[in-house]
Amino acid sequence: MIERLHTGARMSKIVKHNGVVYLCGQVGAGESVTEQTQDCLSRIDALLIEAGSDRAHILQAIVWLRDMAEFAEMNAVWDAWVPEGHAPARACGEARLARDVLKVEIIVTAAIKP
């Protein structure tokens, strides 16, 4: 069974299937990549909790940065957020994001907690 939460015409914020939760790409508010990453990860936390998961159960993360020159700044926030011993498989690349003000977008797939 597939369960979709916060579904609109274009996408669902959360899709659950066979013990796995898929989140749509999350962006954050703020001027700097630090602020946007912090806000983005806070949104991911809230969606994961709603879906029955948490950051310790993330299987994979895909990070898109507007500018790879901000990689270290984003990683400083990411490294403080990921629980020790629970780093997911992760990819990071540079991409043109949906709006010019966006500096980071993160897509997460996680296991639902037993």
Q: Decide yes or no: CATH 3.40.720.10 for domain 2-111.
A: no
Cβ–Cβ contacts within 10 Å for residue 29, how many?
13
**68-81 pLDDT, tens digit each:** 999 999 999 999 99
Strand partners, 55: none
Cβ–Cβ contacts within 10 Å for residue 16, how many?
18
CB 112 within 8 A of CB 53: yes
Q: Place 18 in a pLDDT band, splitting at 50, 70 and 90.
A: very high
pLDDT of residue 79: 98
**AA identity, residue 67:** D
**47-104 pLDDT, tens digit each:** 999 999 999 999 999 999 999 999 999 999 999 999 999 999 999 999 999 999 999 9
Q: Rounded distance, CA 22 to CA 57, Å?
A: 12
- Among 11, 80, 7, 17, which Cα is nearest to 52's? 17
Cβ–Cβ contacts within 10 Å for residue 4, how many?
13
Span 24-38, average pLDDT? 98
pLDDT of residue 58: 98
Q: Place 31 in a pLDDT band, splitting at 50, 70 and 90.
A: very high
pLDDT of residue 48: 98
Q: Domain map of the chain by residue range? A: 2-111
